[in-house]
Amino acid sequence: MNRDKPPLLIIEDDPGLQKLLRWSFEAYEVLVAGDRESALALIRRHEPAVVTMDLGLPPDPDGASEGLATLQQIRALAPDTKVIVLTGNQDHANAVKVIGMGAYDFHQKPFDPEMLGLVVERAFFLHALQQENRRMQQVQMDSPLSGIISRDPGMLKICRNVERVASSDATVMLLGESGTGKEVLTKALHQLSPRHGERFMAINCAAIPESLLESELFGYEKGAFTGAAKQTLGKIECANGGTFFLDEVGDLPMALQAKILRFLQERVIERIGGREEIPVDVRIVCATHQNLKEMIAAGSFREDLYYRLSEIVVTIPPLRERVGDAALLAHHFRNKFSVQEGRSSLNFSQEALATIESYSWPGNVREMENCIKRAVIMADGSQISVEDLGLQALPMADEPLNLRQVREEAEYKAFVKVLARADGNITKSADLLGVSRPALYDLMKRHGIK
């Protein structure tokens, strides 16, 4: 078969017309079928984008019953395929009927090859456009946000949720272990929001001494305290119009919790030493790796503040719970640091990859980033070995599941793992899994992976 030309299926029982049509469509790989059965077989095999068909097919060459039945089956088998039906000259009723059944167009016989050629060309064009559109939608569905590398369904879902809430002004709370990407997600949220043209300001409540935190947040007037030489704006005020990120909110001292709560209720701030109430319009995002519910129970975090901050809660899974992401991120960071360190074509040894996959990554993506950076620097020759990683592999606990779940999970995990390990290469993935490429595509389809 000619691979450069797109296949066009012609369903026509008259040998003379078959010849004529073949001759008119030199630009395509013309496939010809004389009856329903062979037409359906060719559609299954070649998946043509466009089909032209005669309504009068054997065993009913003078009627339309066989043609209509064929059309119905094509529609069910290949709903994206564009079917152009050739109808008799005065056959208005059937023309209407075939369009109602989902045919792309009809054309009257005896046909004008030039006209029919144009209709076919337009059908190919529309089909290509629809496929492209679908592909782009799919890519959007499958791709994480800017700065985020992941193929884990849980993480991708979080990315979709972040996209969804970005347009609102709702206060978002990101929960997750250290290094899971709370800050990258916050930045992505800001970038996707209508506030992206304004400033993104962040403050880390754990990194700033309590005595300075208040002035960092709210600013101060000249002479408010010793050393206050000039009026200084706080970070909340600086973020006006944009997004304010309150990082490690669990470390906010009680006295400031009350002040932040007041800001959230009134949306005004007062600079230290100032008397004026200044309205500030910011979108608040906060994050913590601490358990705020426990802190509330222990009396170290205000419950009312918690509810103000947690209009939308996003819980980010730790790296060890993301399927396939460890190897995926390892490849990503290897590429990044190889370039940075001027070390080309470094590869992981099989044992190194296995260790990366089984390690529990308590420090999550940040730990991974540091680990691979170190390994790239340490590696001798062209391979990153287990020793270069400097990890102490800790066995992970198994979760109990029923047998069907176990099978499905195992299949899915093996697949995503292999895909990550092969860096997205399908042929290599199929080899590693010991299946054929078509079987692999089946697997991908079954698990909804693109």
Ligand X SMILES: Nc1ncnc2c1ncn2[C@@H]1O[C@H](COP(=O)(O)OP(=O)(O)OP(=O)(O)O)[C@@H](O)[C@H]1O
Question: How far apart are CB 185 and ligand X at their closest, in Å?
Answer: 7
Question: How far apart are CB 177 and Mg ion at their closest, in Å?
Answer: 11
Chain length of the chain: 450
Question: How far apart are CB 184 and Mg ion at their closest, in Å?
Answer: 9
Instruction: Decide whether 319 or 384 has the Cβ nearer to ligand X.
Output: 319
Question: How far apart are CB 251 and Mg ion at their closest, in Å?
Answer: 12
Angle among Cα 82, 85, 89 to the nearest 5 degrees reads 155
For residue 8, CA distances in Å to 117, 130, 332, 376, 398 come to 11, 17, 42, 52, 53
Instruction: Decide whether 182 or 235 has the Cβ nearer to Mg ion.
Output: 182
Question: How far apart are CB 183 and Mg ion at their closest, in Å?
Answer: 4
Chain centroid to CA 298: 39
Measured CA to CA, the distance from residue 150 to residue 419 in angstroms comes to 12
Which residues lie near ligand X (CB under 6 A)?
A: 148-150, 176, 178-184, 289, 365-366, 369
- Treating both helix axes as pointing N-terminal to C-terminal, what angle do 437-446 and 426-433 enclose, rounded to 10 degrees? 90
Instruction: Decide whether 365 or 379 has the Cβ nearer to ligand X.
Output: 365
Instruction: Decide whether 116 or 148 has the Cβ nearer to ligand X.
Output: 148
- Token couple for 400: 């109990």
Question: How far apart are CB 217 and ligand X at their closest, in Å?
Answer: 18
| Residue 179 binding target from Mg ion, ligand X, none, CB below 5 to 8 Å by type | ligand X
Instruction: Decide whether 22 or 289 has the Cβ nearer to Mg ion.
Output: 289
CB-based burial label for 116 (10 Å; 0-12, 13-18, 19+): buried
Which residue type is seen at 205?
C
Residue 270 makes contact with Mg ion by CB under 5 A: no
- Token couple for 128: 């290509």
Measured CA to CA, the distance from residue 333 to residue 341 in angstroms comes to 12
Please, where are the H alpha helices in 193-324? Answer: 210-218, 235-238, 254-266, 292-297, 303-309
- Restricted to residues 170-229, the positions that interact with Mg ion (CB under 5 A) are 182-183
Which residue type is seen at 337?
F
Instruction: Decide whether 219 or 250 has the Cβ nearer to ligand X.
Output: 250
Question: How far apart are CB 171 and Mg ion at their closest, in Å?
Answer: 17
Instruction: Decide whether 107 or 289 has the Cβ nearer to ligand X.
Output: 289
Q: Residue number with the shortest CB distance to Mg ion?
A: 183
Contact set with Mg ion (CB under 5 A): 182-183
